[in-house]
Amino acid sequence: MRIKLIGIVLLISLMIPTFAYAATYYVKSGDSLFKIGQKYGVSAEYVRQTNGLKTSAIYAGQKLWVPDRKVNAINYTVKKGDSLYTIGKKFGTTAEAIKQMNCLKSTQLKPGQALLIPKRASYKPVITAKNTASRGGSSSGSRQTATANKVSTKELTLLAKLVNAESRGEPFEGQVAVAAVVLNRVKSPLFPNTIAGVIYQPGAFTCVTDGQLYLTPSDTAYKAAKQAIAGWDPTNGALYYWNPAKSTSKWVWSRPITFRIGNHVFAK
C-alpha cells in the first residue's frame, strides 16, 4: 500500500506545475484565484493546479504559492495530443524553454494541465538543430552562434566561463541573467565597451581574483551565454547582481533591486 501511495504522489508531482521562483501568498478577504492570478500574470487554473487545489474555493488566511514576480508568459491549457514540442512550435519557443519555465520533471503532459509559455519578447530561442552545442562547450554550434551575433568565439567562451564561475547551480534563467548583466554593462557608458573589458574590470567579479573564471565552462553555461547574446534579458536591463546571503557591500545594497532569480538579486 505504501509503495502504491508513493507512486501516486510521484505521478501527481509530474502533472502539477510548480513555480521556479515561488513566494508565499496569504489569501485576503475578497480574493479569488482569478484576482490572484491577474496580480501575478498567471491564470486562475494555473494557481489552482500549482497549489494542488481540487476546487477554486479559497479562504482568508490560506497559504498559497505564487510567483515572486509578475510572469511574462502566455497561459495555455494542454489539449489531447499536445506535446511540449508541438506547443513550443505553435508559440515560437522551444520544448526545453517551456519545461524550464514550468519546472517540469518530465515531458509527460495531461489534457487540462495548465502551462506557462514564454512570450517571444522574453525568450528568443537561438539554438537550432544545426547549431545546437554538443557535449563539449567549445562546439561548432557555439562558433556558429557567436558568428551570427557578431560575437567572437573567444568572447563567447569568456562569457560562458563567467556564467559558469558566477552562477553554476543556479536556475537556467538565472545563468542567462548573469550573462545579460555583462552585456548590459557593455552597452552602458558607465562600463567598458567590450565583454573582456567588463569581466576583467578591477573588482567587478570575484571569480576573476579567486581563479574560478578559468574553470572549463559547462555546456549549460555556453547555452546561457548564447541565449543572452541572442537577446534574452530576464533582468530587463539590470547592471548589478549579488547573493544577499553573502554580500556585505553597503554600496551595492543601495542599488534599487528589481527582482530575484534563484540565489541572486538583480538591480539597476
Cα distances from 233 to residues 35, 55, 100, 176, 225, in angstroms, run 28, 36, 16, 7, 11
pLDDT tens-digit series, residues 204-247 = 888 888 889 999 999 999 999 999 999 899 888 999 888 877 76
pLDDT tens-digit series, residues 44-58 = 888 888 788 888 899
Residue 102 has pLDDT above 50, yes or no: yes
Q: What is the overall mean pLDDT for the chain?
A: 78
Separation of alpha carbons 68 and 49, rounded Å: 17
Separation of alpha carbons 94 and 265, rounded Å: 26
Q: Residue 73: CB partners within 8 Å, gap ≥ 6?
A: 41, 42, 101, 116, 117, 118, 119, 122
* Confidence bin at 130 (pLDDT 50/70/90): very low
* pLDDT for the residue 149: 52
* pLDDT for the residue 142: 45
Residue 146 has pLDDT above 70, yes or no: no
Residue 96 has pLDDT above 90, yes or no: no
Give the rounded percent of residues in the chain with a pLDDT score beyond 70: 76
Predicted TM-score (pTM) of this structure:
0.47
* pLDDT for the residue 136: 37
Residue 132 has pLDDT above 50, yes or no: no
* pLDDT for the residue 215: 92
Q: Residue 27: CB partners within 8 Å, gap ≥ 6?
A: 36, 58, 59, 60, 61, 62, 63, 64
More confident residue, 246 or 9: 246
Task: Give the residue among 14, 15, 21 at the shortest CA–CA distance from 42.
Answer: 21
* pLDDT for the residue 93: 81
Residue with cell 521562483: 21
Residue 6 has pLDDT above 50, yes or no: no
Range with lowest mean pLDDT among 29-43, 171-185, 186-200:
29-43
CA 46 to chain CA centroid, nearest Å: 18
The mean pLDDT of 184-206, rounded to a whole number, is: 90
Give the rounded percent of residues in the chain with a pLDDT score beyond 90: 29
